Amino acid sequence: MIFFRTLFKTKGEAISFAVFVALIAIILPLALPIFRLNLVGKYLSYGFVAIGLVLLWGRCGILSLGQGVFFGLGGYCMAMFLKLEASDPVSTSIQTTPGIPDFMDWNQITQLPWFWEPFKSFTFASCAVFLLPGLIAFIIGWAMFRRRVGGVYFAIITQAIALILSLGIDGNQGFTGGRNGITDLKTLLGWDIRTTGAQYTLYFLCVFLLLASALLAKYIINTRFGRVLMAMRDREDRVRFSGYDVAMCRTFVFALAAMLSGLGGALFVLQVGFMSPSLVGIIPSIEMVIFTAVGGRLSVIGAILGCLIVNFGKTAFSEAYPDAWLYLMGGTFIAVVMFFPDGLAGILDKSGTLKAKLSTLGTGLMKKLKPAESAEKASAAVAEIPKTAEP
């Protein structure tokens, strides 16, 4: 029960989470044909990045414009394993060198590069999906947060990293598949991932992992650690003077967000069947920030819904009016940033608050409904926590 309380501060939160679970786990699979459901699965795999951004950007105040890097790393780890499985010596016997991926053969490479070797193992590949993005994020975060780099500098440097990785993958066609990416992925441990049954299974796997990640994020947000994060966002110096290791906390959240993004990338590859540098660079990285901003940067569920809504809008609108899509996207984004910085979730919250005000429940209930958002409350929470509870 206490655990449940930590996850959901109010009844409203629990109800909205239940509605969300019902939507993606029951209603959508029943209502949509498998082609559309597969699309939803693809959008939900961006949801992992959005959860990471809620923790990192909404709660920690650190905007990373390089989340595509981690999404891409996770995706490439999975794609490399699947590609090696798809290019066994029998099915690639027409190549000059059978047993290596086709794009390597096209680029006159005769031996599998050393960094591909470990991806023959499923255990290694599935661990690398989390650990590689996590490790790289840890190194980047540690180097930067130690030196108190934050804000816009962090955004620009992570954006440059996204550019470097996408150009690097693009430019090394023989080793990475270049601009076309890694395509023609067929089976996972002998199980054909292209059949309808497999697509359903993968969709539910994606939903399950997404909900688990969402609960993990909600748990982190509602514990003391989450409040410390928010206090760091609002009054960094006070938290530092209270004895917390600000750099370590931020590095942890950055690495966690990266691991979630990597998981999303792997699920993307499994459901869509390819990976390419167009999902790594600057534009996808910023688009993921857009999804989060539209949905609500403070709300886990809101951010995931943001991914669904913006992507459905993109698919529907850009099919009908391809020219006007960028106007709409740009305009929506400006409007959201300027007038609704907390996104759709913020609008819903406000209307909820309004209703509560209209009813005669009084201000006491209002306080209960509102989680400790303000700087004062958060820093008060910090002051309450004894030193030994340092995360």
Partner 1 sequence: MQGAAETLFFLSAPLSFCSARPSGALTLPHIQLSPPMESYSWEDLQNIFLMQGFAGISLFSVLLLMGLGLAVIFGQMGVINMAHGEFMALGAYTVYLCSTLTAEYAPSFGPYYFVVAIFIAFIVCALVGAAVEWLMIRRLYHRPLDTLLATWGLSLIMQQTFRSTFGAREVTPTLPEWLMGSYSPKEGLDIPINGMFVLGLAIAVSFALLLFMYKSSFGLRLRATVQNRKMSGAVGINTNSVDRLAFALGCGIAGIAGAAFTTIGSTGPDSGSRYIVDAFLVVVFGGAASLMGSLASAFGIAQAQSILEFFLEGTKGKVATLLVIVVALMIRPQGLFPSKVRAH
Beta strands in the chain (DSSP E): 187-188, 191-192
Residue 98, helix vs strand vs coil: coil
Q: Which is nearer to partner 1, 7 or 63 (CB)?
A: 63
C-beta contacts of 315-324 below 8 A and 24+ residues apart: 315/39
Among residues 89, 197, 330, 362, which is the contact residue for partner 1, using CB under 8 A? 330
| Residue 62-101 contact track with partner 1, rule CB under 8 A, x = bound | -x--------------------------------------
Q: Which is nearer to partner 1, 93 or 237 (CB)?
A: 237
Largest CA distance in the chain: 79
Tell me whether strands 191-192 and 187-188 are parallel, antiparallel or unpaired: antiparallel
**Least distance to partner 1 from the beta carbon of 343, Å?**
12
- Report the alpha-carbon distance of residue 66 to residue 44 in Å, rounded: 19
The number of residues in the chain equals 391
Apex 266 CA angle, 195 and 164, nearest 5: 135
Helical packing angle, 34-53 and 196-222, nearest 10°: 20
Query: 215 to each of 7, 14, 95, 221, 374, how far by Cα in Å?
Result: 7, 11, 47, 10, 23
| Residue 38-57 contact track with partner 1, rule CB under 8 A, x = bound | --------------------
| Residue 135-174 contact track with partner 1, rule CB under 8 A, x = bound | -----x--xx--xxx-xxx-xxx-xxx-xx--xx-xx---
Among residues 341, 353, 354, 384, which is the contact residue for partner 1, using CB under 8 A? 341
Among residues 338, 358, 363, 386, which is the contact residue for partner 1, using CB under 8 A? 338
**Least distance to partner 1 from the beta carbon of 140, Å?**
7
Establish if 15 lies at the interface with partner 1 (CB under 8 A). Answer: no
Residues of the shown chain interacting with partner 1 in the complex, contacts defined by CB under 8 A? 61, 63, 140, 143-144, 147-149, 151-153, 155-157, 159-161, 163-164, 167-168, 170-171, 282, 286, 289-290, 293, 323, 326-327, 329-334, 337-338, 341
